Amino acid sequence: MNVVTPQRAAAPAPVGLLAELTHRCPLRCPYCSNPLELDRRSRELDTATWQRVLTEASELGVLHVHLSGGEPTARQDIVEITQTCAKLGLYSNLITSGVGGALDKLQALYDVGLDHVQLSVQGVDAANAEKIGGLKNAQPQKMAFAEKVVELGLPLTLNSVIHRGNIHEVEGFIDLAVKMGAKRLEVAHTQYYGWAYVNRAALMPNKAQVDQSIRIVEAARERLKGRLVIDLVVPDYYAKYPKACAGGWGRKLMNVTPQGKVLPCHAAETIPNLEFWYVTDHSLAEIWTDSPAFTAYRGTDWMQEPCRSCDRREKDWGGCRCQALALAGDAAATDPACSLSPLHAKVRALAVEEAAENPPDYVYRTIGSNVRSPLKEEASL
Ligand code: SF4
Ligand code: FES
Tens of pLDDT along 76-88?
Answer: 999 999 999 999 9
pLDDT, residue 9, reads 61
- Measured in Å, residue 241 CA sits from the centre of ligand 2 at 15
Q: Which residue's C-alpha comes closest to atom 7 of ligand 1?
A: 313
- Ligand 2 pocket: which of 20, 323, 330 to mutate (most atoms within 8 A of CB): 323
CB-count burial class (<10 Å; 0-12, 13-18, 19+) for 288: buried
What confidence tens digit (pLDDT) does each residue in 183-240 have?
A: 999 999 998 888 898 999 999 999 999 999 999 999 999 999 999 999 998 888 888 9
Nearest Cα to Cα of residue 21 among 59, 53, 56, 61: 53
Percent of the residues in the chain that have a pLDDT greater than 90, as a whole number: 77
| Higher pLDDT, residue 364 or 93 | 93
3-state SS of the chain? CCCCCCCCCCCCCCCEEEEECCCCCCCCCCCCCCCCCCCCHHHCCCHHHHHHHHHHHHHHCCCEEEEECCCHHHCCCHHHHHHHHHHHCCEEEEEECCCCCHHHHHHHHHHCCCCEEEEECCCCCHHHHHHHHCCCCHHHHHHHHHHHHHHHCCCEEEEEEECCCCHHHHHHHHHHHHHHCCCEEEEEECCCCHHHHHCHHHHCCCHHHHHHHHHHHHHHHHHCCCCCEEEEECCHHHCCCCCCHHHCCCCCEEEECCCCEEECCCCHHHCCCCCCCECCCCCHHHHHHHCHHHHHCCCCCCCCCCHHHCCCCCCCCCCCHHHHHHHHCCCCCCCCCCCCCCCHHHHHHHHHHHHHCCCCCCCCCCCCCCCCCCHHHHCCC
Q: Does the Cβ of 321 fall within 6 Å of ligand 2?
A: yes
Kindly list the domain boundaries of the chain, sorted by start residue.
Answer: 13-286+298-380
Ligand of minimum distance to the alpha carbon of 305: 1
Is the pLDDT score of 112 beyond 80?
Answer: yes
> How confident is the model at residue 236, as a pLDDT?
80
Residues with CB under 6 A from ligand 1: 241-242, 306-307, 310, 312-313, 316, 318-319, 334-335, 338, 340
What 8-state DSSP symbol labels residue 285? H
Query: Of all protein residues, whose CA lies closest to atom 1 belonging to ligand 1?
Result: 318
pTM: predicted TM-score of the whole model, two decimal places: 0.91
Give the pLDDT score at 367.
84
Instruction: Say how far apart CA 124 and CA 129 lie, in whole Å.
Output: 6
Q: Is 267 in the pocket of ligand 2 (CB under 6 A)?
A: yes
Q: Does 151 score more than 90 pLDDT?
A: yes
Distance 274 CA to ligand 1 centre (A): 22
- Residue 47's pLDDT band, with cuts at 50, 70 and 90, is very high
* Closest residue CA from atom 1 of ligand 2: 322
Ligand nearest to the CA of 310: 1
What ipTM was predicted for this assembly? 0.94
pLDDT digits (tens, 9 = 90+) for 33-43: 888 888 888 89
Radius of gyration of the chain (CA): 20
pLDDT for the residue 379:
53
Q: 10 Å Cβ neighbour count for 219?
A: 12
Q: Which residues pair with 231 in a beta bridge?
A: 186
Nearest one of 282, 277, 303, 281 to 292, comparing CA atoms: 277
**CA 154 to centroid of ligand 2, rounded, Å:** 30
| Euclidean distance between CA atoms 192 and 209, whole angstroms | 17
Distance CA 285, CA 213 (A): 41
Give distance in angstroms: CA of 365 to centre of ligand 2.
20
For ligand 2, say whether the CB of 303 is within 6 Å of any of its atoms.
Answer: no
C-alpha–C-alpha distance, residues 307 and 313, integer Å = 6
Q: Which residues belong to the annotated binding site for [4Fe-4S] cluster?
A: 25, 29, 32
- For the segment 343-353, the average pLDDT, to the nearest whole number, is 90
Feature table: binding site: 25, 29, 32
In the predicted structure, residue 1 carries a pLDDT above the cut 60: no
* Architecture label for domain 13-286+298-380: Alpha-Beta Barrel (3.20)
Task: Say yes or no to pLDDT of 372 above 90.
Answer: no
**Which amino acid residue places its CA nearest to atom 3 of ligand 1?**
338
